[in-house]
Amino acid sequence: MSHTLDRSAALYNPELAPESATNTWKTLNLFNWWMAGWHSMAGYTMAIGLFAFGLNGWQAIIAFIAGAIILYWANNLTGVAGQREKVPFPVFARAAFGVFGANI
């Protein structure tokens, strides 16, 4: 006997489905992803802010790298569940916020 489940658009769409096992990122993909985040208005604003606080070039670079390491560590720590189970963050957010709360 075969049962077909009705999938609600609020609960399922192809973007929320688990990723395939063949979808893997290499080192260059991760590097490009993180560098795209720094080459933005927020990244440049932070760099200018470091100089505004009176840091010289080397101090600003060291502060920038230290901040990046802390942020990358925290971001990767929150993404462990998605990395292991191949499920995107919005699906995990439903556990804490419910189906409608995760949509906000």
> How confident is the model at residue 8, as a pLDDT?
72
Token pair, residue 62, equals: 């060291």
pLDDT in tens, 31-51: 888 788 778 888 888 888 988
Higher-confidence residue of 58 and 98: namely: 58
- Least Cα distance to 99 among 71, 75, 91 occurs for 91
Higher-confidence residue of 4 and 83: namely: 83
pLDDT at 70 over 60: yes
